[in-house]
Amino acid sequence: MELTVVMPCLNEAETVATCVRKAIGFLAVSGISGEVLVADIGSTDGSQALATEAGARVVPVSDKGYGNALMGGIMAARGKYIIMGDADDSYDFTNLMPFIEELRKGSDLVMGNRFKGGIEPGAMPPLHKYLGNPVLSFVGRLFFRSKIGDFHCGLRGFRKDSAIALGLQATGMEFASEMVVKATLAKQKITEVPTTLKKDGRSRPPHLRSWRDGWRHLRFLLLFSPRWLFFVPGIVIGTAGIVIGAAVAAGPITIGSVTFDVDTLVAASAMVVIGFQAVLFWLFTQVYAGAEGFLPEEPKVQRLLEKLSLERGLIAGAAIGLAGLGGLIFSLTYWHANKFGQLNYEHALRLMVPSVTALVLSCQLILGTFFLSILGIKQTRHTPVGATATINVNDEPATARRL
């Protein structure tokens, strides 16, 4: 069987039969060997019977959620290729050939693009059309260097084996983003074809909740891009803190009617600490995600981690700590010269704040380096003498050897 059309379903009695008949009609007209599968997650309005009468195979999925419904349908599908689409009659199941053609050419994932194919008036809420979809799609393209213009189109085709290989886990609406992101990270071949969107045929409100599901999509994009979640903000904030701190460390700076003094230096110190902490979290995430297979390893990051050994981290942390300690000793000498009396804090804090900041950074670097080393420990399992062990040599396929 070449194709399975999968439709997630939850109380779609008004439209599911229409969608099923359209998809079956497409299979008959195009001469494609296939089936229509409705993945139902507990409809109470008789959708299952209506879908069956229209010619679909109905598969019950026990767990709620858009992602669960689709994964249930994908696992139960018999076709080599799968085209998924909502059962609300908003997508054109009579015109699926562009997806099939791209799949036959070797694409792993074929995305529909509603903005290129056409959106019928009233088919997409203005909030989604002009803010939600464009912004989230832009974030996806920026974070993952993807060329997909419509990250959240519900009509898409893919190879069943390619989809299963991604290890998709999202249970809700963010499943749409997860598929594109993981396919991109896995370097699968992704193409895009124009598709249309019309106003759905339901009289009830859609299952989608704009702000809740929009946040879930954004949260997923952030969690799968530690570079943009931690590294880029950390570098920007930390660099800004260093520049601002260096500018006001020698003395107050006046711009117009505004004077930047020691209070600005304290804020700059906080920016440096926050930025450095964010970069450390980026490194922690890269090591953990790489070890667990959560994210693909980045060669540049691996080279950096190889250079950042425990010993080098301790030496760098100690050097920064000694600089901070030296500043504190100098401050104590200055206080002693004033017979431990009242200080001119405008001058004293210009040395005290950078010194304390250096000590904080020193502790962060030393403790962070230890933690990176712990994360990088490879567990070794020794096999008893006389047993058969599996050993990987030079990344060659594992071979059973007698010890």
Q: Residue 241 is part of which domain span?
A: 226-375
Assess if residue 57 is contained within a domain. yes
Tell me the CATH number at 95: 3.90.550.10
Q: What does the pLDDT read at residue 338?
A: 67
**Does residue 181 share a domain with residue 306?**
no
* Confidence band for 141, pLDDT divided at 50, 70 and 90: very high
**Average pLDDT of the residues in 24-42:** 96
Residue-wise pLDDT for 225-267, tens only, equals: 999 999 999 999 999 999 999 998 888 888 888 888 888 999 9
Question: pLDDT exceeding 90 applies to what percent of the chain?
Answer: 56
- 253 and 190 within one domain: no
252 and 275 part of one domain: yes
**Residue for token digits 């903005």?**
115
Q: Is the pTM of this model over 0.85?
A: no
pLDDT at 342: 63
- Whether the pLDDT of residue 62 is over 70: the answer is yes
The last residue of a domain, from among 223, 253, 271: 223
Q: Mark whether 8 and 157 lie in a shared domain.
A: yes
Question: Do both 239 and 205 map to the same domain?
Answer: no
Predicted confidence (pLDDT) per residue in 182-196, tens digit? 999 999 999 999 999
Q: Which of 144-153, 206-215, 284-293 has the highest mean pLDDT?
A: 144-153
Same domain for 135 and 199, yes or no, is yes
pLDDT at 375 over 90: no
Tally Cβ neighbours within 10 Å of residue 396. Answer: 8
Number of domains into which the chain is organized = 2
Residues 217 and 235 in one domain: no
Span 204-222, average pLDDT: 81
pLDDT score of 337: 65
Among 63-67, 191-195, 278-282, 348-352, which is the least confidently predicted range? 348-352
Higher-confidence residue: 19 or 223? 19
User: At 403, is the pLDDT very low, low, confident or very high (cuts 50, 70, 90)?
Assistant: very low
Q: What is the mean pLDDT of the segment spanning 38-61? A: 96
| pLDDT of res. 215 | 87
Q: Are residues 175 and 249 in the same domain?
A: no
290-316 pLDDT tens trace: 777 777 777 777 778 777 788 888 999
What is the mean predicted confidence (pLDDT) over 158-164?
96
